[in-house]
Amino acid sequence: MFYALLFAPLIGFFINGVRFRSKNAQVAGAIACTAMAVSFVSAVGFFFKLKGLPVDERALQFLLFDWIKVGDFSAPMAFTIDPLSMVMTLIITGVGFLIHLFSVGYMSHDERPAKYFSYLNLFVFNMLLLVLGSNLLVMFVGWEGVGLCSYLLIGFWFTDPAKAAAGMKAFITNRIGDAGFLLGIFTLFGLTSTVSFAEVNSYFLNNPNMLSTAWGAPVTLACLFLFIGAMGKSAQIPLYVWLPDAMAGPTPVSALIHAATMVTAGVYMIIRLNPVFLAAPNAMMVIAFIGALTALMAASIGLVQNDIKKVLAYSTVSQLGYMFLAVGVGAFGAALAHLMTHAFFKALMFLGSGSVIHAMHEEQDMRKMGGLRKLMPVTHFTFLMGWLAIIGAPGFSGFFSKDEILWMSFHSPRGSIVLWVIGAVAALLTAFYMTRLMAMTFWGRSRVPENVHPHESPLSMTIPLMVLAFLSVFAGFLCIPHGISTILPGHPHNFLDEWIHPLMASFEMPHGPNDLAIEFTLMGLTLLGILASVLLARYLYITKPEAADSAAKKYSAAHKLLLNKYWVDEAYFKGLINPIIRISRTLWVRVDVKIIDKCTYAVSDMVKNAGGGLKMVQSGNLQVYGLYILIGLVFSVWFLL
């Protein structure tokens, strides 16, 4: 069953990509979807197998072969299925199957569906390597594999230079992060002499003296290096710039890679190594503040974007910031809860945007939409469920996970009022820009061009939307925070927290008599702010749309700043990329051309000339050979005499 779980997507990749290159999207999609279904069913089987085991024994080990063995060091190609990797595996295979199914309809008119589905299957295989690997090196193989597949899928329509450039940008940006990740692995190995997750975590759990508040301590450096890797893969400041451009790929790719799976790899890695990060409070403080600032910055940019996928892209960056805020304050369970709920509602909205783009004949500008609610009722209703989830409407999945993150950012010993304020403001901005997206796309008057006739998408596209809408509504009940559970009938438990609890290191959490009162007060303030943001967005984009235009003109400097994304890309080009290109060209002329090339040409000329002189010896002329023999004979006689 483990072989089926891990290798079914790889077999799908080989069938579609190497053996059977069908140009029929239904046939290629059926092969890819079957592979994903086999993997998902196997994952469900493993979930029930784990659930039936005693809590302390919920870990299944699988050894494929001895991979690296040098002296006392070994890094086997081994895998672990435990509660944490199980959650990730179910998300990857379950959401992945729905996205594969959606792709059958979305890519029906593409000329290369087999290649597309083979890349999707290969991505899922590498993602499973990443989350199931029992050591850092196996994880790194999957880590690099999903980076490669991301490049291939973002630039899938590579004949468009902009799309090809977007894939290259993602690839190069991730290489910067991956260099940091490698340094983190090396530093951690230097500390523990192992790369096994179980042994590394055990080392830090059994050595409480490893906790260090020094910035230069090896454990702090290891965590900061690992976080650089997470910055690249999970799009945090300053390495977030690749993800918005990654929307150049097919929309289902955005749903799979840039919402539900790959971009959460950095969060998963930190949760997996939680005892290590708890030993480095300074590193956790950096993670928390960068996560909070990323959430705020990306949310502010999303306020004015007009491309429906760009809004969702910056929303993804912002929600990932929330997850890093959570792990930074030690709320690893809340981070995983938001990872799960975000996978459902953001995959839903990306696929919903794909349904809209498909109906609008590839149009992505929300200014040319509006009034689609009546024309696309299923897409609208499912998107509405995702909207309610992401803004944190009470009872929906995002409400439970986001509230727990905000509360822990205030209450945790690693948190602060500053982190809570930043997180709360980001939540208000999220409510505003997502309501703006709904208003400009589905509500209000229609601005659809006369030559475009929107229609509801086929069942292969709407069924995944309905399943994800159901999960977006009810998945939050798997992770109900303690404070909220106290006011619910039966006081339901936080299933997700209890499920992963044996793998989580703990630190002392203060408990005060007024904790519940403070939590509900903060929750009430946040909900009031969210409601105000929703009403303001509705007023500006439905009730009185001209007010939005006048506000943009009145605050033109701020509007221009946000519309141009703080000119971060331009600053990178001016301060980093272009100088590197100029220096590289100078070095090429002065070192490559004038030194290396001239040296190699001189050596080659010398060899050529020497060869030209020596080749006269082998002329093939018998008279010349006779002359050489005579000269040799004369010289020999002279030497002897």
- Same domain membership, residue 526 and residue 579: no
> What is the pLDDT, as a whole number, of residue 276?
94
Number of domains within the chain: 3
- Same domain membership, residue 578 and residue 495: no
> What is the pLDDT, as a whole number, of residue 129?
96
- pLDDT higher than threshold 80 for residue 292: yes
500/52 Cα distance (integer angstroms) = 15
Mean pLDDT score, 136-152: 94
Mean pLDDT score, 334-343: 94
- Same domain membership, residue 348 and residue 433: yes
- pLDDT higher than threshold 90 for residue 389: yes
167/330 Cα distance (integer angstroms) = 34
Structure tokens at 486: 């106290």
End of a domain among 88, 117, 134?
134
636 versus 483: the higher-pLDDT residue is: 636
> What is the pLDDT, as a whole number, of residue 599?
93
Specify the 3-state DSSP secondary structure of 537: helix
Taking Cα atoms as reference points, which of 356, 362, 367, 350 lies closest to residue 563? 367
133 strand-pairing partners: 79
142/166 Cα distance (integer angstroms) = 22
492 versus 386: the higher-pLDDT residue is: 386
Mean pLDDT score, 318-334: 94
Helical segments of 75-196, H only? 83-106, 113-132, 136-154, 161-192
- pLDDT higher than threshold 90 for residue 616: no
Mean pLDDT score, 228-235: 94
Q: How many CB atoms lie within 10 A of CB 588?
A: 13
The label of the residue with tokens 């597949």 reads 149
Residue 215 inside a domain? The answer is: no
194 versus 258: the higher-pLDDT residue is: 194
- Same domain membership, residue 419 and residue 538: yes
- pLDDT higher than threshold 90 for residue 107: no
Q: How many CB atoms lie within 10 A of CB 289?
A: 18
Q: Could you tell me the pLDDT band of residue 106, with boundaries at 50, 70 and 90? A: confident
> What is the pLDDT, as a whole number, of residue 309?
92
Taking Cα atoms as reference points, which of 114, 111, 104, 92 lies closest to residue 33? 104
End of a domain among 546, 563, 580?
563
> What is the pLDDT, as a whole number, of residue 444?
86
Residue 28 inside a domain? The answer is: yes
Give, in order, the Cα–Cα distances in Å from 51 to each of 30, 81, 133, 422, 552. 31, 12, 20, 38, 54
User: Among 203-212, 305-314, 533-542, which stretch is predicted with the lowest mean pLDDT?
Assistant: 203-212
> What is the pLDDT, as a whole number, of residue 487?
83
Helix H or strand E encompassing 27: helix 25-51
- Same domain membership, residue 467 and residue 347: yes
Q: Could you tell me the pLDDT band of residue 408, with boundaries at 50, 70 and 90? A: very high
Give, in order, the Cα–Cα distances in Å from 260 to each of 198, 461, 468. 26, 17, 11
Give the percent of the chain with pLDDT over 70: 100
End of a domain among 563, 578, 595?
563
User: Cβ distance 43 to 94 under 8 Å?
Assistant: yes
> What is the pLDDT, as a whole number, of residue 119?
94
> What is the pLDDT, as a whole number, of residue 321?
95
Residue 325 inside a domain? The answer is: no
Residue 156 inside a domain? The answer is: no
- Same domain membership, residue 608 and residue 538: no
Residue 375 inside a domain? The answer is: yes
Mean model confidence pLDDT for the chain = 91
- Same domain membership, residue 349 and residue 461: yes
> What is the pLDDT, as a whole number, of residue 248?
86
Q: Could you tell me the pLDDT band of residue 294, with boundaries at 50, 70 and 90? A: very high
Q: Could you tell me the pLDDT band of residue 278, with boundaries at 50, 70 and 90? A: very high
pLDDT digits (tens, 9 = 90+) for 24-61: 889 999 999 999 999 999 999 999 999 999 998 999 99
- pLDDT higher than threshold 80 for residue 183: yes
Q: Could you tell me the pLDDT band of residue 453, with boundaries at 50, 70 and 90? A: confident
Q: Could you tell me the pLDDT band of residue 508, with boundaries at 50, 70 and 90? A: confident
pLDDT digits (tens, 9 = 90+) for 234-274: 999 999 999 999 888 888 998 888 777 899 999 999 999 99
Residue 287 inside a domain? The answer is: no
Residue 281 inside a domain? The answer is: no
- Same domain membership, residue 580 and residue 515: no
- Same domain membership, residue 590 and residue 539: no
- pLDDT higher than threshold 80 for residue 11: yes
Mean pLDDT score, 569-576: 91
Mean pLDDT score, 408-415: 91
Helix H or strand E encompassing 207: none
- pLDDT higher than threshold 80 for residue 513: no
- Same domain membership, residue 489 and residue 443: yes
- Same domain membership, residue 384 and residue 507: yes
> What is the pLDDT, as a whole number, of residue 515?
84
User: Cβ distance 142 to 266 under 8 Å?
Assistant: no
Mean pLDDT score, 194-201: 94
> What is the pLDDT, as a whole number, of residue 617?
78
Residue 301 inside a domain? The answer is: no
Structure tokens at 534: 């929703």
- Same domain membership, residue 551 and residue 432: yes
Which residue range is the domain that position 3 belongs to?
Answer: 1-134
